[in-house]
Structures are given as C-alpha cells and as structure tokens.
A = this chain, B = another copy of it.
Amino acid sequence: MKIYLAGPDVFLPDAVEIGRRKVAICARHGVTGLYPLDNEVDLKTSDASLQIFRGNEAMMEEASAIIANLTPFRGPGADAGTAYELGHMAARKKLCLGYSNDPAVYADRVRRFTTVTSRDGRLIDADGVMIEDFGLNDNLMMIHALDLYGCPLVTPRQRPDDIWHDLTAFEMCVRAAASRLVERI
C-alpha cells in the first residue's frame, strides 16, 4: 500500500536523509512511502521543474494516500505546493492525512509576523486583511479535507525543538494510514 509523502521537507539541507527516515518509518508499519526526491530528475535540463511536476503527479497517481507535512513554511501557514498536492489527493478521493509540528492555531501564528487587531469583531492583520479565526491550525480547506477524507490534523501537544526533524507526528499519521488502509482491503 503506497503513501505519497508531501511536504516542504524536500527543501531542507538534509532532504534526502529525511526522505530515507520517512520511508523507513513507513516500512516499519508495513506501507510504502513515496518521497518526491526519489523521482529521477536531471536538474541540469531546461525542463527540470516540469519533470519534477510530472514525477510528483505520477507518484500521487500511484499512491492510495497522502501524508502532508503542513508545518508552517516561510510564513504563518503551510507550503503552497503541499497544499496543492493535498487538494489533488482529496479531489481524487484518496485517503488524506497530515500533520503540523506547530500546534498553535493559525491566528496565533500570524501574530508572530504582524500586529493583529480586531475590527467589527473580526481579527485583521497590519494590512487590514482578515485572519481566519475558527480556532483551526491552518486554512479551513486543508483542515476540513483531513477531517472528512482521512484523519484530523495530527499535532504534537508541544512544539518540538526541531520542527523539521521530529517525526513523531509523522509516525502517528503513518500508523493511522496503515490501519485505515488495512480496513479498506
């Protein structure tokens, strides 16, 4: 049973090693992790980014499930590429799981980047732009996709010291996926 391992992990300095660890955790739970960097891409060619796109899409096609790393990336919210892939898998009715190693609700994370005030009972940022304030960890499209098409977002009780290398929440997703996928057989 194959699970697509989405997330901004691929941008980390030790992206390949993190992929190996994630795939090994999957194997321990009897499932196969498909990690984007395992696609062979010649980065020197002019269409390298298109090759990556096609490789990722083929992996998603092959997988029965996705585990999306929604830990905030370069801002208060999830990586947009990962969000795209979660939307893709939800639309294909695949099993959708995800985790965020930052357990704070979205509105509180926005406070780290901008001054948050209230206008007409709604939270707004310094530009006057409304902040989603439903007590959710991130944008409602991603959070409710997980609720409805897999398992609710997995978060640690406390933010781990190393949000990019702590794979406890990831492993909880793998365990949940493995048991769900067995049920589906």
Nearest chain-B residue to A6 (Cβ)? B141
Complex contacts, A86 vs chain B, CB 8 Å: 84, 87
Nearest chain-B residue to A143 (Cβ)? B49
Instruction: Count chain A residues whose beta carbon lies closer than 8 angstroms to a beta carbon of B.
Output: 53
A64 interface residue (CB < 8 Å to B): no
B11 engages A132 (CB within 8 Å)? yes
Instruction: Tell me the residues in window 1-51 of chain A with beta carbons closer than 8 Å to chain B beta carbons.
Output: 8, 11-13, 15, 48-50
B78 engages A113 (CB within 8 Å)? no
Q: Known contacts being A11-B132, A86-B87, A144-B50, is A77 close to B74, with CB within 8 Å?
A: yes
A53 engages B87 (CB within 8 Å)? no
Complex contacts, A49 vs chain B, CB 8 Å: 132, 134, 136, 140, 143-144
When each residue 131-157 of chain A gets 1 if its CB lies under 8 Å from chain B and 0 otherwise, what string results? 110101011111111011000000000
A65–B53 alpha-carbon span in the complex (Å): 21
The contact of A87 among B85, B124, B125, by CB within 8 Å, is B85
A88 interface residue (CB < 8 Å to B): yes
Report A's interface with B, CB cutoff 8 A: 8, 11-13, 15, 48-50, 52-53, 56, 74-92, 110, 113-114, 119, 124-125, 128-132, 134, 136, 138-145, 147-148
